Amino acid sequence: MERQNLESLINLCARRSIIIPAFEAYGEISGFYDYGPIGARIKHNIENLWRAFFVDGMGNLEIESTIVYPEKVFEASGHLKNFVDPIVNCPKCGSSYRADKLLEEYFGSLKDDAKKEKVKHFTTAELQAAIKENIKCLKCKSELGTVGTFNLMFQTHIGPSNKQVGYLRPETAQGIFLDFKNIFRNYGLRLPIGIGQIGKVFRNEISPRNMLIRMREFSQMEMEYFFDPDDLSSVAKEAQSYSAYKINFLSRDAQANRGADMESVSIGELLDRKVIPNHLYAMLLAKELDFLRQIGIKDELIRFRDLLEDELPHYSKRNVDVEIRIQGGFEEVIGNAYRTDFDLSNHQKSSGKSMSILSGNKNIVPHVVETSFGTDRLFWAAMYNSLYKTEGREWNVLLLNENIAPYKYALFPLQKDEQLSNKAIAIKDRLSKLKIPVLYSEGGSIGKRYAKADEIGIPYSITIDYDTIKDETVTIRNASDTKQNRIDWNHIG
């Protein structure tokens, strides 16, 4: 069994309309993709598993906040000032590039990994000098201009006068922060408590790339955990049960020393080293590892990276992010930020309204640990790491974990025949009543239908033939090894 490459995944997604370039009829605009029927089901299964794991499973709450915000919100949160990327334009043809990524790709093409890594920490002046020395416009080969900064938020206007500036949210977190005090008071909550949401966010990326890895419109699954930094006794015991969990960890020292690599280390040891800021943070890292296993990501494909000081978001005191291997490198899929009381305190100062709550016998502005899952990146990582070429099959096989597979069963009458179709529909109706998702198909040869089911990630196929009419048995085919078993269809569940 051989894992396939990204080109094969992109080809599969196009052929089966799993992922579709948005508004393609009018010319593709980078960074916007639609999910087709199969893609949408897989994505929703990831979201529902997150909800079961981190909302219902942990006794947390979920909200749905607005997408458009007035400018004041992002002034207070620091996004107007800090949510920027370095940009360089071509004065001749008008092309725009993200300066750091342009250099990373250049040094990557030279196989100079040391310089490629160093670019991530360049100042604006260093980016400017390196571009001037090495790179011209990729389109017209002219000298590029001066490196500047570009705010990634999409601006809009609220109301017909165009006087009130608004922005599409670049993260779902601010809605949670602004609603927190009302929810805490009205639901009679106690710290610590998590409040999360799943939703669309928008970032006007300079150079979208790598399909679902860097998009302009994408989905997040975010949870903000509010707590008293002086009292985490209620989670310390549970966190202790995860202290022996070993994770693949890339430390700051290892990143500074290019010869070093990630280590397998226990979460308890990272707590002792004070790499992880508190027990709540430690517990969440362990639960994230369990969650990734549930969607089918193997441990050896996962690493936890301690972000360097100059990489930290403006609101974060510490980030240990989760990355998954995709082809030749690792991509961030979960950001874990210790946001302290940054957001609540800034909104309190900007709005003039208190964000403090009564916890125990004292008024406090809670601290926050945020876990931010990139839904689309998780989808892409799961897809890539599940696509195989197997012996004896001319087509690729998508061996998704059953938790996120689009359907549990594909249901096929052996051929077009009213008797077989009626029996197949009866089986489909029974499974539907059991809330088991089934894809029904009776067109084309059985071989082609098996191939399609394999490619779109359905783990089992049920075939109804003339023996089914006689003895109520059907053939169950396992996509992982093509083995078939004959069972009574009434026992399928």
- Number of domains observed in the structure of the chain: 3
Residue 353 has pLDDT above 80, yes or no: yes
| Residue ending a domain, choose from 322, 353, 387 | 387
Which residue, among 346, 336, 439, 447, has the nearest Cα to 395 in the 3D structure?
447
Find out whether 345 and 365 touch, Cβ atoms under 8 Å.
yes
Q: Do 55 and 122 lie in a common domain?
A: no
Residue 375 has pLDDT above 90, yes or no: yes
Residue pair 367/317 in contact (Cβ under 8 Å)? The answer is: no
Domain-embedded: residue 316: yes
Same domain, 315 and 441: no
pLDDT at 453: 97
pLDDT over threshold 90, residue 94: yes
CATH at 466: 3.40.50.800
Does 50 share its domain with 102?
A: no
Q: What is the mean pLDDT of residues 211-238?
A: 94
**Residue range of the domain that includes 189:** 2-68+169-387
Within this chain, do residues 430 and 379 fall inside the same structural domain, yes or no? no
Percent of the chain with pLDDT over 90: 88
Is the pLDDT confidence value at 259 over 70? no
Rounded to whole angstroms, the Cα distance separating 277 from 318 reads 7
Check residue 6 and give its pLDDT.
Answer: 93
Query: Is it the case that residue 97 has pLDDT exceeding 80?
Result: yes
Please check whether residues 324 and 467 belong to one and the same domain. Answer: no
Confidence check: pLDDT of 225 > 70: yes
**Residue 393 belongs to a domain:** no
| 291 in the same domain as 246 | yes
pLDDT of residue 121: 87
pLDDT at 215: 96
pLDDT value at 278 more than 90: yes
Where is the domain boundary, 335, 353, 387?
387
218 and 108 part of one domain: no
pTM exceeds 0.75: yes
Least Cα distance to 457 among 384, 385, 386, 379 occurs for 386
Average pLDDT of the chain to the nearest whole number: 95
- Using the predicted structure, report yes or no on whether residue 257 has a pLDDT greater than 90: no
Task: Establish if 79 belongs to a structural domain.
Answer: no
Check whether 28 has a pLDDT greater than 90.
no
Structure tokens belonging to residue 366: 């809670």
Query: Alpha-carbon distance 451 to 455, whole Å?
Result: 6
Assign 431 a pLDDT band (cuts: 50, 70, 90).
Answer: very high
Mean predicted confidence (pLDDT) in 173-198: 97
**Same-domain pairing of 280 and 229:** yes
